[in-house]
């Protein structure tokens, strides 16, 4: 397995995409890649480009969304770190054989056609960690 290539994005949990976007778009002047709903995770997300890295804002679309539960218990803030990998199935196999607990045993669909999978923060030093591979 090849090591992860770079940090792809930081995921921030927010109560309102529109409100939170003001800092990144209006104040900092970052380019927005557009808003997208990910029904699977019951979130709406928006990405801002910052060089090679992106900032992902996540807003819950339902009360039982994982992001809604996060906001309830922890409040808005850093939700996850995402590492870009070349071959997600190979990375998941390596994590599994390294004894890392996975939230997603198989790649699933994320925003922007990415394939994504999360590792459990209990196995990654308390940081919810996403591994993502660009879509074909
Ligand atoms: Zn993410």
Mean pLDDT of 33-37: 91
Identify the pLDDT of residue 57: 98
Instruction: Indicate the helix (H) or strand (E) that contains 92.
Output: helix 88-97
What spacing in Å lies between the alpha carbon of 129 and ligand 1's midpoint? 9
Place of tokens 């923060």: 121
Quick one: which of 108, 103, 89 has its CA closest to 40? 108
Distance from Cα 99 to the centre of ligand 1, integer Å: 23
Domain membership of residue 100 (yes or no) is yes
pLDDT band at residue 40 using 50, 70 and 90 as cut-offs = confident
Distance of CA 98 from the midpoint of ligand 1 (Å): 23
What domain count does the chain have?
A: 1
pLDDT at 136 over 70: no
> Which long-range contacts does 88-96 make (Cβ < 8 Å, 24+ apart)?
88/115, 88/116, 88/117, 88/131, 88/132, 88/133, 90/1, 90/2, 91/1, 91/4, 91/131, 92/117, 92/131, 93/1, 94/1, 95/119, 95/131
> In this structure, is residue 15 part of a structural domain?
yes
pTM for this model (two decimals): 0.93
Token pair recorded at residue 1: 């397995």
In a domain, 85, yes or no: yes
Q: Which domain holds residue 81?
A: 6-134
Q: What is the reported pLDDT for 25?
A: 96
In the numeric block, which tokens belong to residue 90?
A: 């190979």
Q: How crowded is residue 122: how many other Cβ atoms within 10 Å of its Cβ? A: 9
The residue behind tokens 């804002």 is: 57
Whole-number Å distance between alpha carbons of 118 and 10 = 13
pLDDT at residue number 73:
96
Predicted confidence (pLDDT) per residue in 99-132, tens digit: 999 999 999 988 888 999 999 999 999 999 999 9
Domain assignment present for residue 1? The answer is: no
For residue 106, the domain's CATH number is: 3.10.180.10
- State the distance from the centre of ligand 1 to the C-alpha of 117, rounded, in angstroms: 9
Cα 78 to averaged position of ligand 1 atoms, centre (Å): 11
Residues 49-99: tens digit of each pLDDT? 999 999 999 999 999 999 999 999 999 999 999 999 999 999 999 999 999
Q: What is the mean pLDDT of the chain?
A: 95
Cα of 135 vs its chain's centroid, Å: 15
């Amino acid at each position: 397995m090849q090591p992860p290539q770079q940090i792809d994005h930081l995921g921030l949990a927010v109560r309102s995409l529109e409100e939170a976007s003001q800092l990144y778009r209006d104040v900092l002047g970052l380019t927005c890649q557009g808003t997208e709903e990910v029904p699977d995770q019951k979130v709406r997300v928006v990405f801002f480009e910052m060089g090679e890295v992106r900032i992902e804002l996540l807003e819950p679309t339902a009360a039982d969304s994982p992001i809604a539960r996060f906001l309830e218990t922890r409040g808005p803030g850093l939700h996850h770190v995402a590492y870009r990998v070349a071959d997600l199935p190979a990375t998941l196999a390596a994590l599994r054989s390294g004894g890392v607990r996975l939230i997603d045993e198989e790649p699933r669909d994320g925003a922007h056609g990415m394939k994504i999978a999360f590792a459990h923060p209990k196995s990654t030093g308390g940081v919810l960690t996403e591994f993502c591979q660009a879509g074909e």
